[in-house]
Structure 1
Amino acid sequence: MPQSEVGFHSVFSGSPGTGKTTFARLLGKILHALGLLENGHTVEVDKAGLVGEYLGQTPMKVEAAFDEADGGVLYIDEAYSLTHDTEDLYGREAVDGIVKQMEDRRGRVVVVAARYPQDMRRFIHSNPGLKSRFNRSICFEDYDSAELLSIQKQILRSNGFEASEGFLLRSELLWQKLYRDRLTYDGNARMVRTALEIALENQAARLVRKPDKARHELCEMLPEDLDGVEAQLREDHDA
């Protein structure tokens, strides 16, 4: 039977830390496993990786990015930055080059553009070629407090740490408070990673002060390891 081409170019919209980049890396592997992409690797670029220093250089940089991504996924982070300034000729030149390469390499490169939802709508409508080629859109919702706690548990477990019941209870209260105060939306999973970095520094300082340490204590997280975490996260958010 004749084969019909199906486009997989996608727009990923959502706040930072919601998993857009992680899923873009998985998408290449999935499409490769299905026999839809030759290699399945993911190449990540931003505006600096696509725009040249002078007019005429940009198409070469765009083509080079597509060459590297051939057989896989080209992930354009902060894609809206290419079109947010209507006077930016370099950004417009990059978009024109992207549209051309998407057509020339149909079936060989899957392009994923990512940014905040409102910015991505403007990006797609900035060029008729983009609107017709990006036929899939996935919105990555912000994580709630229970999901943030689950992410924290997973990160600890994957790194060989054990969380005590007191640590988990205090963590649950921490994420509930930050989520209630709408402070987690700008960081999501990234905020969890920052919180754990502070907690692990606290744990290290605690263990240094203890002369005799059992092996299991080196991997155990206690409630006091969360001291100062909330204050630091709030300060980082307000900075």
Structure 2
Amino acid sequence: MNEITKAPDHTVVNLQEEYNKTDIQHIIDNLEADLVGLKPVKARIREIAALLLIDRLRKTLGMEAGNPGLHMSFTGSPGTGKTLVALKMADILYKLGYIRKGHLLEVTRDDLVGQYIGHTAPKTKEVLKKAMGGVLFIDEAYYLYKPDNERDYGSEAIEILLQVMENQRDDLVVILAGYKDRMDVFYESNPGLASRIANHVHFPDYSPVELLSIAKMMLEEQQYKLTPEAENILLDYIQIRMEQPLFANARSVKNALDRARMRQANRIFETSADLVLTKTDLVTLLPEDLLKSRLFANR
């Protein structure tokens, strides 16, 4: 049996130099720039990255490594950045050499579970084949398990997933995502799955002010801006929308901005057809572009 060659105890390693080689800081800086708020999430990702880096350095020095579990659970409401963070996590795992390719494959129940006997296994295995060497992100993972339906084939997909998560954990990282309360029930019903998840990251909902910042970032990327009054109205919109059903944080804000841009375009077309337009006219969203939302009409 081959023995691990251990470095002498006086061997030194420059941690900052090794860290710089991985380019992880660039990924974390991008995460800071791309995501408003979410301080506990960012801190958790930094902790995981630090653990993985130290684990890698221990291996290079011939020391026993902790063999950290890489499978993860991301919980939180829709629109809180889970998919974006999963992409960044895939980059970190790739830079540190924990996965071969660094790609992320996002799937849901429909991609894994078949509609009839014999359909689920090949479907699940095909997805796993595509994900190998990278990260498999399963959104709303609790829909895989339907205990009230004896004829449901989700349990078959879970069994195959369990085997791969255990036997091929060096070539695939699985991230399960969804609402926290439903994910908790899902793990209680599937203790084998829960035992394979080493890292749990919870994504809190954004505050109204954070969502306004996100909205302004979205508009800036599309070369739009709000007047000061329109900005106040958008904040009002966000606060009202947060109290309504099916609110999805940044996703709901994006949808609201898309509709506001459509109203702006329609306003310009109807009122300025014979006028010369300035760049300011084209990039500015006015209060009326937001106030015509059904949300305000129903108040």
TM-based fold match above 0.5:
yes
Where does the alignment leave 5 or more consecutive residues of structure 2 unmatched?
Answer: 1-61
Provide the residue aligned with 1:212 in structure 2: 276
Match of 1:7 in 2: 69
Please state if 1:32 is matched with 2:32.
no
Superposed displacement of residue 227, structure 1: 2.0
Q: Post-superposition shift, 1:215? A: 2.0
Q: Distance in 2 between matches of 1:222 and 1:175?
A: 16
* Larger radius of gyration between Structure 1 and Structure 2: 2
Q: Which residue of 1 aligns with 2:255?
A: 194
1:81 matches 2:159: no
- State the distance in 2 between where 1:142 and 1:156 align: 21
Which AA in structure 2 matches 1:188? N
Q: Specify the code of the residue in structure 2 equivalent to 1:46.
A: T
Summarize the Cα distance change of 1:159–1:234 in structure 2 as closer, same or farther, 3 Å threshold: farther
1:139 Cα deviation from its structure 2 partner: 1.3
- What do the CA deviations read for 1:64-105 (whole angstroms, capped 9, x no partner)? 111111111101111111113342441111110110111121
SS of the residue corresponding to residue 195 of structure 2 reads helix
Report the Cα distance in structure 2 between the residues aligned to 1:142 and 1:234, rounded to whole angstroms.
Answer: 25
> CA separation of 1:149/1:94 partners in 2, compared to 1, >3 Å: closer, same or farther?
same
Task: Return the alpha-carbon distance in structure 2 between the equivalents of residues 88 and 95 of structure 1.
Answer: 15
Aligned partners of 1:195 and 1:119: how far apart in 2? Answer: 27
Q: The residue matched to 2:69 in structure 1 has which SS? A: coil
Counting only pairs closer than 5 Å after superposition, residues 120-159 of structure 1 correspond to structure 2 as 120-159=183-222
Distance 2:220 2:245 in 1: 22
**Which of residues 56, 62, 66 in structure 1 aligns to 2:128?**
66
Deviation at 1:177, TM superposition (A): 3.8
- Percent same amino acid among aligned pairs? 37
Change (3 A) 1:44 1:232: farther
Residues 1:107 and 2:161 are matched in the alignment: no
Partner residue of 1:97? 160
Name stretches of at least 5 consecutive residues in structure 1 with no aligned partner: none
| TM-fit CA distance, 1:232 | 7.0
3-state DSSP class of the match of 2:211? helix
Return 34-43 or 83-92, whichever deviates more.
Answer: 83-92
Q: Distance in 1 between matches of 2:297 and 2:145?
A: 32
- Report how many aligned residue pairs link the two structures: 233
Greater mean deviation of Cα atoms: 41-50 or 51-60: 51-60
Q: CA deviation at 1:234?
A: 7.1
RCO greater where, 1 or 2, for CA within 8 Å and sep 6 or more? 1
Deviation of the 1:30 alpha carbon: 2.0
Shift of 1:52: 2.0
The alignment status of 1:163 with 2:229, answered yes or no, reads no
- 1:125 is paired with a residue whose SS is helix
| TM-fit CA distance, 1:191 | 1.1
Distance 1:111 1:160, change over 3 A: same
- The code of the aligned residue for 2:74 comes to F
Deviations 1:109-135 (A, max 9, x none): 110111111111121222232021012
Calculate the TM-score normalised by the size of structure 2: 0.72
- In the superposition, the TM-score normalised over structure 1's length comes to 0.89
Greater Cα shift, 45-54 or 170-179: 170-179
Q: Deviations over 1:139-191 (max 9, x none)?
A: 11111100110110010011111222222122223323444xx2377311111
